[in-house]
Amino acid sequence: MASSTTRTTASTGPSRRKFLQRLAIGGMALGPGSAFLASCATGGGGDDDGDDGDDAPPADVSDDNPLGIAEDEPVEIYIFDGGFGDAYATDLHQPIFSERWPDVTINHNAAVDIGAELQARFAANEPPDFINNSGDGQMDTGQLISDGLLADLTPLLDAPSWDDPDVPVRDTLIPGTIELGSRNGTPYVLNYAFTVFGIWYNKTLMDENGWPVPTTWDEMLDVCADIADHGIAPWVYQGVTAPRYMNWPLLTMAAKLAGPDVLVPLDNLEEGAWGHDAIRESAHALWDLGQRGYYLPDVEGMDFRDAQGLWARGEAVFCPSGSWIENEEADAIGEDPTFELAVMPEPLLSADAVMPVETIRATAGEPYIVPAQANNPRAGMEYMRAMLSMDGARGFTEKVTSLTAVLGASDGVEIEAPGLSSAQEALSAAGENVVNWLYPTWYPTMENPGIDQATGALLRGAIDVDEWVDQCEAAAAEIRDDDSIEKYTR
């Protein structure tokens, strides 16, 4: 069978030139958020000169081959070798794919620094067909989109699902998943894992010492005082590597206090948004923890894994994170057979808070993309379709202790991991009281280094809340005033 696409030659249009210039002066922009959109699923990542790239049609489309992939052409994938590792790909998703497509060779690659591995491939117009764009070396997907380097995933979402030909892929996803991976109505990113955020702790340690799970900030301070009296640090955060983890409880508590609408102006880059009274009060609470000596000593200079490792070994009690932490710190947690991981929603800052204490931040995450100018992009999308099968999603949950964005995929799954079970319970208790914000995805450099550095300085006491607000406002203004950055609103 003929190939579904052919490799295009490198464009010399303005979009491509700007991309190459960025690489030359310091490498591709990298950032910590999710990824998003771009060009054409058949491989045409056109440029400003009007060249639409490769417009070759797919192979024959049929009920058995809804995306029209070439059955004899290899597919090259890159998996981020981080918190989830890459065994879920080699041991689960690839066998599911290969059972249906035995003649398609899968060229598997794993990388810790995705950007460093692939930026030259993008520049040479030879990207792989499928990328797990995650980790500290995550490529700035917004910039990739602006440069026309990502594929529109509409063919995937419109295709019949792997398990039921009468149900399109888009209808198998938890509401909000497609929107999170879209810009201006076009889907570019599959956010596969479903993450529950909160404050993580060792339930056994809390129970043994009679420390109640605090539901208000006053209760939190009382519990912290008792913990400190026992010679244990009440809190840890992810050190110099990722102080932004503390932005998550900060903004969640602000939303509980004033309502979810307090988050919208942050995403919309509105002047003065970071100075809202609720955000100030929440920032003050976390600043005050440092003033009271409730952070793990010297955490401000630690790598995030070192800081989390000390927490997992009992040197601190509370740790902000997403539900991936159970897998990420499995080895350290496993050293203590009594460690029962649990997550708590952030306490209420005031009794007159607008949202209930059960409110949590939860969102689809862990982004996967298909480059527009890949050699075999439809096979990359077919690989995504296999991931979104019930077996693929359930197996992922069992293997890496993370929920997925596939509706009903965890139903009937026996979850032995206490942290993931706790996350499920928290999500159920929250009901519709789930919040999220999008500026880290839309504007990665606004969060890192912008807000990230400001929060790090706040936590270590180098600046006060007013100065933190000023620095956050400056980070937002830098994006707002840069005409080269496409803006989004919600």
Q: What one-character-per-residue DSSP string does 62-94 give? A: -SS-TT---TTS-EEEEEE-STT-SHHIIIIIH
User: What letter would DSSP give residue 485?
Assistant: S
CB 149 within 8 A of CB 172: no
CA 441 to mean position of chain CA atoms: 8
Distance CA 428, CA 442 (A): 28
Count Cα neighbours of 462 within 13 Å in the Cβ-side half-sphere.
8
CA 262 to mean position of chain CA atoms: 21
CA angle in degrees (0–180, nearest 5) for 383-388-390: 125
Specify the 3-state DSSP secondary structure of 319: strand
Q: Is the dihedral of CA 204, 209, 212, 218 positive or negative?
A: negative
Pairing of strands 130-132, 75-80: parallel
**Termini Cα distance of the chain:** 45
Distance CA 150, CA 36 (A): 8
CB 17 within 8 A of CB 150: no
| Residue whose structure tokens are 């056109």 | 46
CB 41 within 8 A of CB 57: no
* Per-residue pLDDT at 57: 57
* Residue in 197, 165, 161, 193 with CA at minimum distance from that of residue 177: 193
CB 451 within 8 A of CB 475: yes
* Residue in 286, 444, 428, 406 with CA at minimum distance from that of residue 343: 428
197-361+437-480 has the same fold as 14-194+363-420? yes
Q: Which residues contact residue 368 at a Cβ distance below 8 angstroms, ignoring those fewer than 6 apart? A: 35, 130, 131, 132, 133, 189, 190, 191, 192, 384, 387
How do the pLDDT tens digits run along the chain, 490 residues long? 333 332 222 333 334 333 333 333 233 333 333 332 222 222 333 333 333 334 455 778 999 999 999 999 999 999 999 889 999 999 999 999 999 999 999 999 999 999 999 999 999 999 999 999 998 899 988 889 889 999 999 999 999 999 999 999 999 998 778 988 998 889 999 999 999 999 999 999 999 999 999 999 999 999 999 999 999 999 999 999 999 999 999 999 999 999 999 999 999 999 999 999 999 999 999 999 999 999 999 999 999 999 999 999 999 999 999 998 998 999 999 999 999 999 999 999 999 999 999 999 999 989 999 999 999 999 999 999 999 999 999 999 989 878 999 988 988 788 888 999 999 899 889 988 989 999 998 898 999 999 999 999 999 999 999 999 999 999 999 999 999 998 988 8
E strands of 348-489, at which residues? 360-369, 403-404, 434-435
CA angle in degrees (0–180, nearest 5) for 304-308-309: 115
* 338 C-beta neighbours (distance < 10 Å), count: 10
Distance CA 230, CA 375 (A): 59
CA 401 to mean position of chain CA atoms: 15
Read off φ and ψ for residue 27, nearest 5 degrees: 90, 165
CATH number of 197-361+437-480: 3.40.190.10
Cα dihedral 205→206→208→211 (10° resolution):
150
Cross-strand pairs, 201 = 342
Helix (H) or strand (E) holding 192: strand 190-202
User: What letter would DSSP give residue 106?
Assistant: E
Read off φ and ψ for residue 386, nearest 5 degrees: -65, -40
CB 128 within 8 A of CB 89: no
Domain covering 14-194+363-420, topology: D-Maltodextrin-Binding Protein; domain 2 (3.40.190)
Decide: pTM greater than 0.85.
no
CA 173 to mean position of chain CA atoms: 16
Q: Where in the chain are the domains?
A: 14-194+363-420, 197-361+437-480
Read off φ and ψ for residue 81, nearest 5 degrees: -90, 80
| Residue whose structure tokens are 């420390």 | 211
Distance CA 446, CA 451 (A): 6
CB 386 within 8 A of CB 96: yes
